[in-house]
Amino acid sequence: MKHGPLALISPETPTIIAMPRDDLFAKNISAIEEIRARSGPVIAITHPGELPVAGIDAFAVPKSEPELDPILLTVPLQLLAYHVARERGGDIDRPRNLVKSVTVE
């Protein structure tokens, strides 16, 4: 959370953070505190349990094997992307600028 990303923090733009309860959990809490210090709203996707930071919205994803956490924590993000695209009127089945194959010469 340095320079460019920190400059984008504003009260109008929520920050969504996927944070498993692993050895980097404390660093993620520190990043949330930086965002909150700049009045940025935070939505956390994490495992069940109390968060040590007050005033953030959190979605709990079941705890599983550490190797599966990236998959499980991504599901809510995919659903969010789907619903935001649908709300904005985007063509969900044919996203703009999507390359379905790559050719290498």
CATH of the domain at 83: 3.40.50.10490
* 27 a catalytic residue: no
Write down how long the chain is. Answer: 105
Q: What is the pLDDT of residue 34?
A: 92
* The pLDDT of residue 105 is above 80: no
Within a domain: residue 51?
Answer: yes
Torsion sign (Cα): 63, 15, 34, 53:
negative
In this prediction, residue 40 carries a pLDDT of 92
* Residues whose CB falls within 8 Å of the CB of residue 3, separated by 6 or more in sequence, listed in order: none
User: Does residue 22 belong to any structural domain of this protein?
Assistant: yes
Catalytic residue among 2, 27, 63, 100: 100
Q: What is the pLDDT of residues 73-101, one digit of tens each?
A: 999 999 999 999 999 998 888 777 777 67
Q: In terms of residue numbers, what domain contains 70?
A: 4-88
Q: Name residues whose C-beta falls within 8 Å of residue 11's C-beta, 6 or more positions apart in sequence.
A: 39, 40, 41
Q: Is residue 100 part of a domain?
A: no
The Cα angle at residue 28 between residues 86 and 72, in degrees rounded to 5: 50
Predicted local distance difference test score (pLDDT) of residue 94: 79
Q: How many domains does the chain have?
A: 1
Global pTM?
A: 0.78
